[in-house]
Structure 1
Amino acid sequence: MRIQVPVSKPSDHTHPPLTALGWSSFFADQVGRDETGLTPLRIATVHRSRLTAEGASGPVKVNLPAASKTTDFAVGDWVLSDPKTLMFVRCLDRRALLQRKTEGAHLPQLIAANVDTLFIVTSCNDDFNAARLERYLALANEAGTDPVIVLTKADQADDTAPFVDQAAALQRGLPVVTLNAKATQAADTLAPWCGPGQTVALVGSSGVGKSTLLNTLANKTGEDVQATGGIREDDAKGRHTTTARSLHTTQAGGCVIDTPGIRTLHVSDLAVGLDILFAEITELAPECKFRDCTHAHEPGCAVQAGVAAGDVAPERLERWRKLAEENRDNTPTTTGPRGNKKPQGRRKRR
């Protein structure tokens, strides 16, 4: 067996303590008495055949037993490893997990683990899409991660107020910030969520400035700078410059997880996330005359009454209906005899 050793670093480099990487009593309490000699590591990258991690001594490569699969790990996971061989021993329970359904896959794709705040990044241009942002919000809500809408390219917009107003209306109490991802002030704007021990993740379309924002938050220079790419002027679409998820330390003392641009975000297993997202509909629904009301045409529908009264925006109800239906179609249900049930996805009738 080949033993991996910690990646060498300059002698004057100070490695962040475990607490700065997000280690807390939640994870420490999971370590048994017979495991106190093991080394806690936080997964920094997940590749097809290997893992890298951050620890108290800096970045390392993690060795995996023959039966282990890298697809079982998410960037941000905390694992225990043998201090001499760096052989993986076990993964600690997660506080939060961001995952998404992908077309044709039986299992969801793991996006990031143990994330405190999800920065949903979009720009003050044609990339802004309320319906797409709602999908990210439902994802964050379901995971128990606090969402923040980050509007980039604010310096290129004549007026950012319309973008802020539209974003803030998507969910109650939703923080919305505007910034220029290239400016050093961007780190100050996002500092409340990036302090020591805090973990944020960046999600959004390609070309909105996620990699640029990562470079600013992590104060990356020289060879460490994350590659960035522009967008097409005619439709504000960008190209993928980030191809893998990765964890980095921020200059504010926390961690940031960068993710590739997501072209399609399917809704699945997000019932709670949708209820939080569409609270104005969720709260009215129990007052409907019929328990199985679709809020479309039934008499005594409290939600339709809310639309008539101006308390529910018609376009919000339409988007709720679309996402709720998609969630029902994509969420697996259990079938089969008791004790031998298996998941079976619902399919839309045509």
Structure 2
Amino acid sequence: MSHFPAQPPVSEAILGWSLYFEDQLVSGERHLLRMRIATVHRTKLIARSPSGTVRLRLSDGTRTSGFAVGDWVLVAPETHLLCRRLDRRTLLQRHGGGGHVTQLIAANVDTLFIVTSCNEEFSPARLERYLALANDAGTTPVVVLTKIDRATDAESFRLQTEALQRGLVVLMLNATAPEAAQTLAPWCGVGQTAAFVGSSGVGKSTLLNTLAGKSAQDGQATGPVRETDAKGRHTTTSRSLHLTETGGWVIDTPGMRSLNLGGLSTGLDELFEEIVDLAPRCRFRDCTHAHEPGCAVRAAIEAKTVDPARLDRWRKLCDENRKNTAVGTGPRGKRVMKLPDKGR
């Protein structure tokens, strides 16, 4: 229940409070404090209030794993006891894979900055996974290409990235340059929330420090990258909420070694829109686009208007999502959610 006075006071509007959350309040809750979760630990939750940072008091049995950085919560004024979490407008979550529990990444995020480098770390297949995640969550994806100052042909990386999704915004910058903050500013305005995701060493923490106006000494730790394979070390070990100089909020996340997909509803359709749009023109409704006659997708590949590698990756991600998505089984009224049988 301790305060941290180093945090500057802000209004609820700057914190990101909106009518979406106001409308969720019921009778008898108007006196409760509105706060946003700033960090989530195994046994404690730290929240950001208009007046500063507060460690919340938790009731017996409260599991912190059910909270995400960016969540809005209602808190008792005198005791700082957590009363309840408000419904999320958006939620980024990572499927556990292999039977592991789904991991919450960030909540109530307006923009997802997907950061990658213009070097050996660049991977269209990995970017597609992040894009599917953002699409399904309802956040706006923006791909940020870093280390353009070290690339011999940075433009080729931009063209490859723009081809991954229709209308995708792609930014190119040097994370250490002061003008990087100006490039990201349109998505970091007052009350807006953005999150950074990407592999270790691509410059997420550096960009966060630039946006927050912090030096390497008082900001997020940054680390070097191995020149042999362009891989970096994990310098961010937990998710955290930070105020930017433009009045917005950014959530830094640890680098992800893998990103399993599961439970997606529309994210893949938006990502592979060129394939989804062609499917109704196929002769057969259940066309797999592999060998059937009259396949519009395969015809487009032969005409070189669809990249065959995209079809391969679409098929792979759809199969993975299907295997990791629970379906209802059992009699009506007693249905339970169960993953498909992976043995078949």
- Give the structure-2-normalised TM-score: 0.97
Q: Which moved more, 1:293-302 or 1:132-141?
A: 293-302
Cross-structure match for 1:30: 24
Q: 1:338 to 1:175 in 2, by over 3 A?
A: same
* Alignment of 1:7 onto 2:4: yes
Matches within 5 A, 1:270-349: 270-349=264-343
Structure 1 residue 14: Cα displacement: 3.8
Deviations 1:259-308, CA, capped at 9 Å, x for gaps: 00011101111231000000000111112111111110011111111112
Secondary structure class of the residue paired with 2:83: strand
Structure 1 residue 310: Cα displacement: 2.0
- CA RMSD across the alignment: 1.3
Structure 1 residue 120: Cα displacement: 0.2
Whether the 8 Å contact between 2:190 and 2:246 is mirrored in structure 1 is yes
Structure 1 residue 94: Cα displacement: 0.5
* Alignment of 1:202 onto 2:196: yes
* Alignment of 1:91 onto 2:88: no
d(CA) in 1 for partners of 2:220, 2:247: 19
Deviations 1:207-257, CA, capped at 9 Å, x for gaps: 101111111111123753111111111111111111100000011110000
Counterpart of 1:331, as a letter, is T
Matched residues, percent identical? 60
Matches within 5 A, 1:172-251: 172-221=166-215, 223-251=217-245
Structure 1 residue 149: Cα displacement: 0.4
Deviations 1:156-214, CA, capped at 9 Å, x for gaps: 11221000000110000000001111111000000010000110000000010111111
Deviations 1:14-36, CA, capped at 9 Å, x for gaps: 41211111111111111123101
d(CA) in 1 for partners of 2:104, 2:64: 11
d(CA) in 2 for partners of 1:86, 1:120: 35
Secondary structure class of the residue paired with 1:42: strand
d(CA) in 1 for partners of 2:216, 2:49: 23
Whether the 8 Å contact between 1:205 and 1:263 is mirrored in structure 2 is yes
* Alignment of 1:69 onto 2:66: no
- Unpaired segments ≥5 residues, structure 1: none
Counterpart of 2:288, as a letter, is T
Whether the 8 Å contact between 2:283 and 2:294 is mirrored in structure 1 is yes
d(CA) in 2 for partners of 1:233, 1:302: 44
Q: Which moved more, 1:123-132 or 1:19-28?
A: 19-28
Whether the 8 Å contact between 1:218 and 1:249 is mirrored in structure 2 is yes
Whether the 8 Å contact between 1:168 and 1:174 is mirrored in structure 2 is yes
d(CA) in 1 for partners of 2:153, 2:70: 37
Q: Which moved more, 1:72-81 or 1:262-271?
A: 262-271
Q: 1:104 to 1:297 in 2, by over 3 A?
A: closer
d(CA) in 2 for partners of 1:257, 1:187: 15
The total of aligned residue pairs comes to 344
Cross-structure match for 2:36: 42
d(CA) in 1 for partners of 2:109, 2:280: 33
After superposing on structure 2, the runs of 4+ consecutive aligned residues of structure 1 that deviate more than 4 Å are: none
d(CA) in 1 for partners of 2:34, 2:120: 44
d(CA) in 2 for partners of 1:204, 1:328: 24
d(CA) in 1 for partners of 2:217, 2:48: 19
Whether the 8 Å contact between 1:330 and 1:347 is mirrored in structure 2 is no
Whether the 8 Å contact between 1:121 and 1:152 is mirrored in structure 2 is yes
d(CA) in 2 for partners of 1:144, 1:93: 14
Cross-structure match for 1:147: 141
Q: Which moved more, 1:30-39 or 1:196-205?
A: 30-39
Structure 1 residue 83: Cα displacement: 0.8
Matches within 5 A, 1:45-56: 45-56=39-50
- Give the structure-1-normalised TM-score: 0.95
Secondary structure class of the residue paired with 1:34: coil
Counterpart of 1:5, as a letter, is S
Whether the 8 Å contact between 1:5 and 1:86 is mirrored in structure 2 is no
d(CA) in 2 for partners of 1:34, 1:271: 36
